Chain A
Amino acid sequence: MYLNIIKFGEALLESRNLFAEAAWLTLKLTAVSIFIAIFIGLFFALMKISKIKVLEWIANFYIFIVRGTPLIVQIFVFYYGLTEIAMISGFWSATLGLAFHNGAYIAEIFRGSIQSIGKGQTEAGRSLGMNRYQTMKRIILPQAFRRALPPLGNQFIIGLKDSSLAAFIGLTEIFGAATTMGANTFDYMTWLLVSAVYYLILVFLLTLVVSFIEKKMAASD
């Protein structure tokens, strides 16, 4: 199927309302799931470095499950599983599925960055009479978070693109909108390319946000 530029431009223009709404849904899915995933990630990262064997095992098991199974399976398990137990919407099944998934990768990012902060920082905090919690919260985590930002930014981008899988449980986010339009017009190529344009824009904006935060946090360099 060859691509007609004019037809593509028209499609892009005509569908702007539909895709604006779809892009908004993609953004919500991404933002809420990443927000939750950051807390999940931090929680499991701290479990992994806690030196308490049981907690380490639980964290390792969680990461093992997430890394070992496809995201689409996880989303469907959340969808069928959660809608069975609780009256939960497709949006929340997808959001929680994505959060569960990204949380594991973010846990590994945080663990690595926390462990990369020199032991001397902990010792300095403790030698001043700060307890473990204060030292972690005030001394280690702010530095670790800064070091985690570049890989976190990457993970956010992956999360944004992975949110396209929510289309398979019936959400009309960007990819869902594209496949629906494709099915209606029998012209999948045009609409998939339209969706690609929206993803490019969103990823670009996300990159800007991350590098803005990176620059702000670089004040102490």
Chain B
Amino acid sequence: MSEDREMIRVEKLNKSFGNLHVLKDIDFTVKESEVVVLIGASGSGKSTLLRCLNFLELKNGGSIIIEGKESDPKKDNLNEVRQKVGMVFQHFNLFPHKTVLENVIEAPTQVKKIKKAQAIKEAKELLAKVGLGDKADDYPSRLSGGQKQRVAIARALAMKPDIMLFDEPTSALDPELVGEVLATMKELAKEGMTMIVVTHEMGFAREVADKVVYMHDGRIVETGEPNQLFDNPQEQRTQEFLSSIL
């Protein structure tokens, strides 16, 4: 693993919803094994940025280069790009009509056409890893929020992505369940997964992030290492935001 390999490069990214200009000339890069945390008030565009990276939202301008390859939604097969970029959602979005195990093997068997026995074996390993080995045959409705989110993480990992995106993964959880999800994410970071995380968990950002990006009003205001950004923010907007939440 070369530490400096660029996994994601975003240049002059712009995105609007109708008249609402949500992302304005965003530039940023993520290197291999880096954990980048996006912070900012709601409406600042951090979730939209994340969703642009796996093309759930299509950009209006600029470029998104993933692992050295620029993707053009009009020409390229986005399904292939998405296989490299896993996504975890705020509201889990597990498939309620499928068991935990079926949730995890769905994409490997359907998209990658992996043999079911093999997919099940890998899925069980992943479920054991997120601490849910005993829940394989339960339906999502039986699980707590924290367990659901850990299944969602296992489901995304089952596609063996190179990059994982987390869109406020703990915001919908009861406070006592946040820890178990963060612990799973920390472990993933330790294993060298490239991660981009939108979160309000400043403790997690401080502890795990290599880089923290503060966004305001569709722009990146400030980027820095956690200690520097949290303890010594350069921009006034960053200072205001941090003093409002800490």
Q: Is the CB of B141 within 8 A of A127?
A: no
Q: 8 Å CB contacts to A: which residues of B105-138?
A: 106-107, 110-112
Residues on the A chain within 8 Å of B99, using CB: 220
Say how far A119's CB is from chain B's closest CB, in angstroms. 9
Q: Is the CB of B106 within 8 A of A142?
A: no
Determine whether A155 belongs to the interface, using a CB cutoff of 8 Å to chain B.
no
Option from B93, B111, B112, B156 in Cβ contact (under 8 Å) with A123: B93
Interface size class of A (residues with CB under 8 A): 20 to 34
Q: Is the CB of B79 within 8 A of A120?
A: no
Determine whether B82 belongs to the interface, using a CB cutoff of 8 Å to chain A.
yes
Closest to B109 in A: A138
Determine whether B96 belongs to the interface, using a CB cutoff of 8 Å to chain A.
yes
Determine whether A211 belongs to the interface, using a CB cutoff of 8 Å to chain B.
no
Q: Is the CB of B95 within 8 A of A127?
A: no
Complex CA gap A130/B109 in Å reads 10
Q: How many inter-chain residue pairs (CB < 8 Å) link A and B?
A: 72
Closest 8 CB pairs of A and B: A124-B93, A128-B107, A129-B83, A127-B87, A120-B93, A220-B139, A129-B111, A129-B82
Residue among A123, A126, A127, A134 with the highest chain B CB neighbour number at 10 A: A127
Determine whether A139 belongs to the interface, using a CB cutoff of 8 Å to chain B.
yes
Say how far B66's CB is from chain A's closest CB, in angstroms. 13
Taken residue by residue from 106 to 127, chain A's Cβ proximity to chain B (1 for < 8 Å, 0 otherwise) reads as: 0000000000001011011111
Q: Is the CB of A220 within 8 A of B54?
A: no
Q: Is the CB of A220 within 8 A of B56?
A: no
Say how far B220's CB is from chain A's closest CB, in angstroms. 23
Q: 8 Å CB contacts to A: which residues of B60-104?
A: 79-80, 82-83, 85-87, 89, 91, 93-99
Taken residue by residue from 190 to 206, chain A's Cβ proximity to chain B (1 for < 8 Å, 0 otherwise) reads as: 00000000000000000
Complex CA gap A128/B86 in Å reads 7
Residues on the B chain within 8 Å of A138, using CB: 106, 110
Q: Is the CB of B95 within 8 A of A124?
A: yes
Option from B83, B86, B91, B155 in Cβ contact (under 8 Å) with A120: B91
Determine whether B159 belongs to the interface, using a CB cutoff of 8 Å to chain A.
yes
Q: Is the CB of A128 within 8 A of B155?
A: yes
Q: Is the CB of A127 within 8 A of B82?
A: yes
Determine whether A146 belongs to the interface, using a CB cutoff of 8 Å to chain B.
yes
Enumerate 16 A-B pairs (CB-CB under 8 Å) in ascending A order.
A118-B93, A123-B56, A124-B87, A124-B93, A127-B56, A127-B82, A128-B106, A128-B155, A128-B156, A129-B112, A131-B79, A139-B106, A219-B139, A220-B139, A220-B141, A221-B141
